[in-house]
Amino acid sequence: MESTLWTEKYRPKDFSDIKGQAEVVKRVKAFVEKKNMPHLLFTGPAGTGKTSLSIVIAKTLFGEAWRQNLLELNASDERGIDVIRNKVKDFARTRPIGDMPFKIIYLDECDALTREAQQALRRTMENYTGTTRFILSANYASKIIEPIQSRCAVFRFRHLDKKDVFDIINKIAAHEGLHVTEAAHEALFEVSEGDLRKLENILQSSASITNKVDDTTIYAVASTAKPKDIVEILMKALKNDFLGAKQKLFDTMMVHGLSGVDIIKHIQREILNLPVDIRMKMHLIEKCGEIEFRMSEGADEFIQLEALLSQFALAGGA
């Protein structure tokens, strides 16, 4: 097996390879086919194809010269005003190589730019429209100042559907000679939470251990508790086995190296699968939110988790 990171190895080569973003791809492709596009703002969760689509755009427009006509910067590393005044301006003021009328500057995670840097970026976008198009990528559109948003065509990416994720898993498994069980498919979909970059890293790590990947391997590599373990903890608490639930919870945290916030997220997700009525589910989810807030404010996580289990025990005995 090659040592190349799969996130690069399986990066889409053309528009047909972008999965789960059909409407976004359709609109962007129309711009590219006309060889004339506005500034673009891609927003949405991590690992859903924002950077991949940007590189596909550059490859389609510039062909072999795409690297010379694309400046790719991660704004979370270089978030100050100097990067806009120097690197971005220096690249923007030069003419493109080839017959295209513009070059592309791709700013990843631009919601990490300071407001001063964003104001400088706004002016740069105005001044160099003749030679440069900007593609901005952000997880949170609300952190981008309004003047920049108004200068861009906004595209909102979403988490991939289960079918699209399974198609990608099957493609990788076939190419790498892996046997991925159906339970492993479900586990990968759950632990990756729609982030394909995370999915590919977990699958690659699992493949380095065995060619027959099952759900146990996935959960072990991802350092994530199995859903059935969380359900067992919650059912013990609901049946008033408070001490048994507490011991099982802390054992699970120690085995997988989970923090209190990690385990709260697992619990909140599995509450919806418990065999209790909807009003109790709503009550328990509310308690999860309260405990998570206390932890974020600095409360001891073990005491707070015990308090949460006590709420489950009280609810079960009601």
Q: How confident is the model at residue 307 (pLDDT cuts 50, 70, 90)?
A: very high
Supply the pLDDT for residue 82: 64
Distance CA 302, CA 254 (A): 12
Q: For residue 109, what are the contacts with CB-CB under 8 A and spacing of at least 6?
A: 74, 75, 76, 137, 138, 139
Q: Can you give the CATH number for the domain in which 59 is found?
A: 3.40.50.300
Percentage of the residues of the chain whose pLDDT score is greater than 70 = 92
Residue 5's pLDDT band (cuts 50, 70, 90) = low
Identify the band that residue 2 occupies on the pLDDT scale cut at 50, 70 and 90: very low
Lowest-pLDDT range, 42-56, 71-85, 121-135, 255-269? Answer: 71-85
**Maximum distance among all Cα pairs of the chain, rounded to whole angstroms:** 74
User: Is 8 domain-assigned?
Assistant: no
Please give the pLDDT value at position 1.
39
- Could you tell me if 193 and 211 lie in one domain? yes
Same domain assignment for residues 171 and 211: yes
Please give the average per-residue pLDDT across 255-280, as a whole number: 87
User: Could you give the CA distance from residue 233 to residue 217 in angstroms, rounded to a whole number?
Assistant: 21
> What integer best gives the mean pLDDT of the chain?
85
Type of residue found at 120: A
Is residue 62 within 8 Å of residue 70, measured between CB atoms?
yes
- Whether residues 72 and 149 fall in one domain: yes
Quick one: 154 exposed, middle or buried, by C-beta within 10 A (0-12, 13-18, 19+)? middle
Query: Of the candidates 156, 180, 213, which is a domain's last residue?
Result: 156
Boundary-marking domain end, from 123, 156, 189: 156
Q: Looking at the predicted structure, is the pLDDT value of residue 281 above 70?
A: yes
Q: Which domain holds residue 253?
A: 227-317
CA 41 – CA 125 distance, rounded (Å): 12
Higher pLDDT, 194 or 301: 301
Q: What is the pLDDT of residues 157-209, one digit of tens each?
A: 988 888 888 988 898 888 888 899 999 999 898 888 878 888 888 888 888 88
Return the axis-axis angle of helices 227-238 and 242-256, rounded to nearest 10°.
Answer: 160
- CA–CA separation, 6 vs 82, rounded Å? 33
For residue 149, give both structure tokens.
């948003």
Average pLDDT over residues 206-228: 87
pLDDT classification of 42: cutoffs 50, 70, 90: very high
pLDDT of residue 10: 66
92 lies in the same domain as 171:
no
What band does 285 get if pLDDT is binned at 50, 70 and 90? Answer: very high
DSSP-H helix ranges across the chain: 6-9, 22-33, 50-62, 81-83, 89-92, 115-127, 146-150, 162-176, 182-192, 196-207, 215-221, 227-238, 242-256, 260-271, 278-296, 301-317
Q: How many residues does the structure list for the chain?
A: 318
CATH number reported for the structural domain that contains residue 210 in this entry:
1.10.8.60
Same domain for 148 and 167, yes or no, is: no
> pLDDT confidence of 64, banded at 50, 70, 90?
confident
Q: pLDDT per residue over 133-149, tens digit each?
A: 999 998 888 888 999 89
CATH of the domain at 263: 1.20.272.10
CA separation for the pair 109, 212 (Å, rounded): 36
Per-residue model confidence (pLDDT) at position 8: 65
pLDDT number for residue 19: 83
Report whether pLDDT(244) > 60: yes
DSSP summary character for residue 42 = E
Q: What pLDDT score was predicted for residue 81?
A: 62
Q: CA–CA distance from 127 to each of 80, 93, 122, 216 (Å)?
A: 19, 9, 9, 55
Q: What is the mean predicted confidence (pLDDT) over 123-133?
A: 84
Contact 13, 56 (CB under 8 A): yes
Say what the pLDDT of residue 306 is. Answer: 92
Is 12 a domain residue? no
